[in-house]
Amino acid sequence: MRFTIRPAHPRWPVLGCMFLAGLVSATPIAAADFTGELVESRLAPADGAGTRFGRSNAIIGSHAFVGDDWQGSRGAIYVYEFDGNEWRSLQKLVGDLGESGDSGDQLANSMAVDGDLLVAGAPEGRAAYVFRYDGAEYIREAVLRPDDPAAGLIGTSVGVSGNRIVVSGLQRSGGGVTYVYEYAGGRWRHAATLTVPDASSVFGHCAVQDDTVVIGDTIEDFVSIFEKSVSGWTEADRIRPAGADPRDRINFGLPVRIDGDTIAVGAVWDNEAGSQAGAAYVFERGDDGWQQAAKFTPVGGGAQFGGSLALESRTLIAGAVHRNTVFVFESDGRNWSTVAEVRRQAQDVSCDPCRYGMFAGLSGERFIVGEMGANLAWIYESGDGGWVSIDVQPWSERNLVDPNSTRLVPVAIHGSMDFDALQCDHNSIRLNPGDARSRNYRVMDANRDGFMDLLTYFRSRELRIGCGESEVELTGATHQGMEFHGDNVVTNRRCR
Ligand SMILES: [Ca+2]
Ligand SMILES: [Ca+2]
């Protein structure tokens, strides 16, 4: 089911935002617009087998991935595909059992996507799995397993960019490492092992883009930036949080994300806005190297904001898992600002803790949010493109509806210069609240503006409207798969 939500207005400002003068801007890319209405889709495990469904997730184009790393101890990835109308289950990928046969690899503890590649960490298997989309489904291409006797857990963090994969290696003793793999000649090869002399055992929360690898160290609270040059991989820069008390350990570096000339870093124990309120830091690459461009921090302690981040084209998604909320931030190329606050929606599912927003992914006009405590994941996309004008009872201003009546309620979907109402797929049209299905339709120019309208009819008993004025929302799709929605206000005539 897909329906539209109106994100709450952001209630807190950007703190510690620094103006970036002389920033070298990358090629302008149209940022996703999440400022208005969002269309929400719910994902659940198709086979009902979820144990920690939502532990990891990712989205790219019309494919979405949700990990369940505890399922049968082997772990699983559920793959979904958007068919133009809704998200359908495409495939389920499963991890291996270990050599002993009684415990599995815990596939999908972490996840990353790029192009046709899906990479997922399997810490108990001390490995990262690589899957490649062949045009029909995702095929397991490799299991990357570093030959490192000092390694403890491997793959709690993974990244992928083009033909390069990074995999964290958290050491049992000594400093953590990040393994770099490269694809050439039809196979994946170990290309480098990245570390620094002062790395702690958890140095290794990683992300990659092209020839840049970023690695967070949440004990020492820094992020290393490695660049590949002709002489090999070297630590080219290092970033630390400005605006945090250096005496605090704030868990800076989990997670880390890079996109273009932007790096985002989470710090769930940041104390600036209250004890363990958390923060998301944004760094931009300018003439003088990487500089902190913004710090987002919610009002109120205990939110543990910033534990999940997704970054693409100057749009940042960040979760506050103890608030069951995710926030959307955007940059116009100079300044970052908060554009949306999305809260957990599933009123029909009880969970405590729900862990909504613990993980997030972003691709173009869509983002995905996991809700591990409820075995759910959610996909949001901008709904503004499909906004249409509708009118309940088009010949009446009053829109009185009797929920006990057997009569049908007419709703006009207005055609316009931008919207051909005749292209509506009648079977897809729903009216909320109540998810009422359109029972009948006819074509006419209901508002006499010269554009033909679709007049649809709903059973008033299927609408769940309370007393007073209620907003009803119509959703649907065209035969071409474009979604649209519109709203109008009705009054319950029984309550007058
Ligand atoms: Ca009306
Ligand atoms: Ca009309």
Residue 479: is its pLDDT beyond 80?
yes
474: alpha, beta or left? (left if phi > 0; alpha if psi -120 to 50): beta
Ligand 1 mean position, distance from CA 397 (Å): 4
Ligand 2 mean position, distance from CA 412 (Å): 9
Residue 485's pLDDT is 84
Q: pLDDT tens digits for 191-220? A: 999 999 999 989 999 999 999 999 999 999
Of all ligands present, the nearest one to the C-alpha of 391 is 1
CA atoms of 89 and 92, how far apart (whole Å): 8
Share of the chain above pLDDT 90, in %: 66
Check: CB of residue 47 under 8 Å from CB of residue 357: no
Rg over CA atoms, the chain: 25
Among 148-157, 198-207, 349-358, which stretch is predicted with the lowest mean pLDDT? 148-157
CA atoms of 336 and 396, how far apart (whole Å): 45
Ligand 1 mean position, distance from CA 398 (Å): 6
Ligand 2 mean position, distance from CA 454 (Å): 8
Of all ligands present, the nearest one to the C-alpha of 401 is 1
Q: pLDDT tens digits for 354-411? A: 999 999 999 988 999 999 999 999 999 876 556 788 999 999 989 999 988 889 999 9
Tokens 């490695």 belong to: 226
Closest by alpha carbon to 366, among 2, 34, 132? 34
Ligand 2 mean position, distance from CA 459 (Å): 23
CA atoms of 485 and 494, how far apart (whole Å): 27
Encoded amino acid at 99, one letter: E
pLDDT confidence tier of residue 18, bands split at 50, 70 and 90: very low
Residue 221's pLDDT is 95
Domain residue ranges of the chain, discontinuous segments joined by + = 2-384, 387-495
- Which CATH number does 2-384 carry? 2.130.10.130
The model's pTM is 0.75
Closest by alpha carbon to 392, among 486, 463, 488, 459? 488
Of all ligands present, the nearest one to the C-alpha of 415 is 2
Tokens 């007058």 belong to: 496
Of all ligands present, the nearest one to the C-alpha of 490 is 1
Residue 117 corresponds to which tokens in the numbers above? 């590649």
Residue 20's pLDDT is 31
pLDDT confidence tier of residue 246, bands split at 50, 70 and 90: confident
Residue 321 corresponds to which tokens in the numbers above? 């898992």
Ligand 2 mean position, distance from CA 446 (Å): 5
387-495 fold: Immunoglobulin-like (2.60.40)
Residue 435: is its pLDDT beyond 90?
yes
Ligand 2 mean position, distance from CA 392 (Å): 14
Residue 340 corresponds to which tokens in the numbers above? 């949306």
Residue 5's pLDDT is 58
